[in-house]
Each structure stands twice: as structure tokens, then as C-alpha cells.
Structure 1
Amino acid sequence: MTNSPPTEAFIRDLASRPAPAPLRPALVALAVAGAILAGLALFFALFGLRPDPGAMARPVVAAKALLPLALAGLALPLALLSVRPGARLPLWPLLVPVALAAGLFAARLIDLPPQRLLPDLMGQTALACLISVVTLSLLPLAAGLALLRRGAPTRPVLSGALTGLAASAGTAAGYALHCTEDSPLFYVSWYGLALCLASALGAWLGHRHLRW
């Protein structure tokens, strides 16, 4: 018979290990923002900004960047809050930029003649937009999830989805400075689809990698 049961030895081994580094919200925010900026800097170096930056002064065009930026600013704090056990998550503020985007979409839809709807919706760069935003979101998503593992995520799917939303919305806000597709039919649809895909990917990765 051994002097100590295996369970006691296992407990002592766990107790002797160094405690994991605590979750630092500021570090997560900086990592996600830094990864977004790094990816966008490379993208702009390769493909540049839009040739008519003055167009961003028009409210409907500015909304293309400001609405996803607002969504990112709301989603990232919620992602950080979601890894605190028992914390209440007020998700309703996310609906504000979504509702504003839906309003712009509806206004444009009503304003256009039927023969213009499909060209306005598809634009010239729909696939490039979708691929660019999702791809550029991968690094900040990975950085955010890696750091969120230091918390105590009891809602890993939600934490992952919010991280994916924050990463992709921040990326979309920057991508808007390159994109010349200024119709709300286009950017609400394709930016929105990119954000949904990145959020779904974040939810899946959260389920796999943020579980205790």
C-alpha cells in the first residue's frame, strides 16, 4: 500500500503548480485592437485607401465605418464581462447599431427603383469584401480567445461569439476606409454577413477552446 492515495498526490500536484496569469481586460482590449490595426495596416499597404476619402463626410457613407465601430466598442466589453462567472450581460445595446443599419437599408430599399436593387445590393466587390473582412478578423479573434482563456468562461459559446463580433466589426470599420461601395444595401448586407460568419466562427472556437 502506498503512503498517500493517488487522489491526494494529484491534489498536491495541482496546488504546487503556479497560478495562471489573471485576466487583464485592458490587455485583451489592446491585443484585439492591435491585431485589428496590424491586419488593416498590411491591407492598406497592399491595396490602399479609397481614392476619394472626402466621400466619408457624407452621413450615409460615414455610417459604413461608424456603425461597425460602435458595434465593436459594445461587443468587446461584453466579451470581457462574459468570462466573469455570474456577471449579467446586457446584450440589448448591440441592437442599437443594428437597428440604425436596418433603417438605412430600408430607406435605400424604398428609395430605389426595382431595376436598381440587385446592382446596388451586389455592387462590384461583394466577394472581395466578404473574404477580406472575415480573413482580417481571424488574427484579432485568435488573440482575444487566447487571452480570454485566462478568465473563468462559463458561457464559452457566447464569449467566443462576442469576441468574433468585436474582431470583425472593428475590422469592417477599418475596411470601410478602403471600400468604395457606399450603398447601405451593399454594406449592411455584406458587412453584416461577414460579421455573422466571424461571430459564428468565434462561437464554435469558444465552445472548443474556452470550456473548462
Structure 2
Amino acid sequence: MAYDRYVAICQPLHYGTLLGSRACVHMAAAAWGTGFLNAALHTANTLSLPLCQGNAVGQFFCEIPQILKLSCSRAYLREIWLLVLGTFLGFGCFVSVLLSYVQIFRAVLRIPSEQGRHKAFSTCLPHLAVVSLFVSTGMFAYLKPPSISSTSLDLVVTVLYAVVPPAVNPLIYSMRNQELKGALKKMMQSGVSQKQ
């Protein structure tokens, strides 16, 4: 998404050639392939861990740090290395998004009209807010020291990075649709008039 915004704002005349169907297929295949490989490695490694503290995880879905708390062998060191690999992959994506947005903001600030800058920022800032929420809460969940770990805190952080960004994304992007804005405004006005 960051690359799409970068090309749309910084190189709008080349959008069709840089982000054609072939480029989109390659980017999607790379993202899906990397995600599948990362998930397969974690799953295979996690299933090989012996659990000596029961098998009840204090979450509503299994997360690697929660499963590592139940492990009683030195085999968890393999999982730590996989987490380090995942962190480097995530950091690479984060740097890519960051560099894209630096270029985008530089280009937007050079737009002479206020309306043009507003339109460009309105397409980028919601995406940046969702990505920031996902990255910051995900980093906190996986990199926080065990001393500040509690079941309720872990649950809240997990919901913030696993549930909120996917739920908010469609709302943010659909709110740019003028017809949806008009319908929502009409619905809110009718709700206010019914209360009076």
C-alpha cells in the first residue's frame, strides 16, 4: 500500500506502467510467500516444543510468546531465532514503508495548492495511522520484557494489533467515498432529529 501511494503521488504519470497487473502479482506473491514461509517455520518449530506447564494458553488464540511460556526445554531457543528472523523481516518492511512515506511527504509539501496537499494527505494519513498502530502494538507485544507481562495487558495488546487494524482499514478507505459519506451524514441527521 505504501508503494502504491508513493507511485500515485510521486510518479503519477508512470502509475500504469510501474503498478501494472504483473507488478501487483509479483508484490502479492512475495508478501504471501514470505508470510507462508514464516508461518510454516513457526508452526513446525512450535509443534516440536515439549510443553511441561499444561497446554492452556492465556489468550483467545495461540501466540508464540504465550506458547514459549509453557515450554520446559531448551528447544525454545530455535523459536527465539525464528522470532529474530521475523523481527528482521518486519523491520525491513517498516523501513520500506518509512522511506516511501518520507518521499511522499516531501512530494506533497511541494504541491503548490492547499487543496492538492489536503487531498494527498487525506489518502496517506489513514494508512499511516493504521500501519503505525499495527507496528507499535505488535512490537510491544513481542519485544516487551516478561516482567511487565500480564494476561489482561497481553489480551488488550493482542486485540489492538490483530483485530483493530483489519477492522478499521475498510472503514477508513470507504469514508473517502462521497456516496457513503452522504448516506452516513443523512443517517446521523435522521438519528438526531428522532431524539428531539
**TM-score, scaled to structure 1:** 0.30
Q: Which has the higher helix share?
A: 2
**TM-score, scaled to structure 2:** 0.32
* Structure possessing the higher relative contact order (Cα contacts under 8 Å, 6 or more residues apart): 1
